[in-house]
Structure 1
Amino acid sequence: MASSASAAERAYQAIHDGILNGVHPSGTMLGEEALATAIGVSRTPVRTALARLQDEGWIVIYPKRGALVRGLSERAVADLADARLILESTAASRASADARDGLAERLRHSIAAQREACEANDLRRFIELTIGFHRTFVEAAGNDVLLELYDRLADRQRFLLFSFGDRLVARCADIITEHETLVERLRTGDDAGFADVLRNHLVDNYATQIGAAPRSFRSAAPADERR
Structure 2
Amino acid sequence: MDTTSPGPSATDRAYAYAKDAILTHRYAGGDLVSEGDIAAGVGVSRTPVREALLRLQAEGLVRLYPKRGALIVPVSREEVDDVVETRRLVEAHTAGRAAESGAEARAELAGRLEGLLSAMRAEVDAGERGDKRAFMSADRRFHREIIAASGNGILVGLYDSLRDRQLRMMEEGTRTAARMRRSVEEHQAILEAVRDGDPGAARAAVSVHLGTAARLLGARR
User: Structure 1 residues 148 and 117, CA, compared in 2 at 3 Å: closer, same or farther?
Assistant: farther
Deviations 1:49-84 (A, max 9, x none): 223322331112345543221244332222222222
Contact 2:95 2:203 in 1 (8 A): no
**How many angstroms apart in 2 are the aligned matches of 1:91 and 1:196?**
12
Contact 1:54 1:61 in 2 (8 A): yes
Contact 1:203 1:209 in 2 (8 A): no
User: Structure 1 residues 82 and 23, CA, compared in 2 at 3 Å: closer, same or farther?
Assistant: same
Report the residue type matching 2:49 in the other structure: V
Number of equivalences: 203
Q: Does 2:182 align with 1:181?
A: no
Contact 1:20 1:155 in 2 (8 A): no
Equivalent runs, 1:99-178 vs 2, <5 Å: 99-118=105-124, 119=126, 120-141=129-150, 143=151, 146-164=152-170, 166-170=173-177, 171-178=179-186
**How many angstroms apart in 2 are the aligned matches of 1:78 and 1:156?**
11
Equivalent runs, 1:36-115 vs 2, <5 Å: 36-95=39-98, 96-98=101-103, 99-115=105-121
What is the DSSP-based 3-state SS (H/G/I as helix, E as strand, rest coil) of the residue aligned with 2:29? coil
Residue of structure 1 equivalent to 2:211: 203
Residue of structure 2 equivalent to 1:214: none
Query: Which of structure 1's runs of 4+ aligned residues deviate more than 6 A?
Result: none
- Provide structure 2 residue ranges, at least 5 long, that are not aligned to the other structure: 1-8
- Indicate the RMSD between aligned Cα atoms, in angstroms: 2.6
| TM-score, with structure 1 as normaliser | 0.76
Alpha-carbon offset, residue 107 of structure 1: 1.1
Contact 2:148 2:156 in 1 (8 A): no
**How many angstroms apart in 1 are the aligned matches of 2:27 and 2:196?**
42
What is the DSSP-based 3-state SS (H/G/I as helix, E as strand, rest coil) of the residue aligned with 2:173? helix
Deviations 1:107-161 (A, max 9, x none): 11111101223434423222221111001212333x3xx3322323313313413
Alpha-carbon offset, residue 183 of structure 1: 0.9
Identity of aligned residues (%): 34
What is the DSSP-based 3-state SS (H/G/I as helix, E as strand, rest coil) of the residue aligned with 1:26? coil
Residue of structure 2 equivalent to 1:221: none
